[in-house]
């Protein structure tokens, strides 16, 4: 993927390869620090749902759909994009 980004940035955005590699290096350094911080946060989390699931669901609430489907729940609920479920009230309904 770095090859495609470099190709696009040098040809379409007229950036130098040095500027692109500097940006990638900065991104990688920031990613290394934030990975350590988030790893510590997840390791210290203890919920009835496990360590990582609350953070995975916060990032993408629909990732838990197979679990809810196979648990036998047949409620009709509406997902409002924040992971919260609310009763039927005129939004697009999902059977979960």
Which pTM was predicted?
A: 0.52
According to DSSP H, which parts of 2-96 are helical?
2-11, 17-43, 53-59, 65-70
Query: How many angstroms from the chain centroid is the CA of residue 87?
Result: 25
pLDDT digits (tens, 9 = 90+) for 48-57: 888 888 887 7
pLDDT digits (tens, 9 = 90+) for 72-96: 554 545 555 555 555 544 444 444 4
8 A C-beta contact, residue 66 and residue 96: no
Question: Could you give the CA distance from residue 17 to residue 24 in angstroms, rounded to a whole number?
Answer: 11
8 A C-beta contact, residue 9 and residue 20: yes
| pLDDT of 32 | 96
Kind of pairing between the strands at 85-86 and 94-95: unpaired
């Amino acid at each position: 993927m770095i090859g495609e980004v470099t190709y696009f940035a040098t040809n379409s955005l007229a950036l130098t390869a040095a500027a692109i590699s500097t940006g990638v290096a900065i991104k990688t350094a920031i990613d290394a620090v934030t990975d350590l911080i988030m790893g510590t946060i997840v390791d210290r989390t203890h919920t009835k749902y496990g360590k990582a699931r609350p953070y995975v669901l916060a990032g993408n609430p629909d990732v838990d759909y197979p679990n809810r489907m196979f648990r036998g729940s047949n409620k009709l609920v509406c997902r409002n994009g924040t992971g919260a479920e609310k009763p039927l009230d005129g939004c697009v309904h999902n059977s979960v």
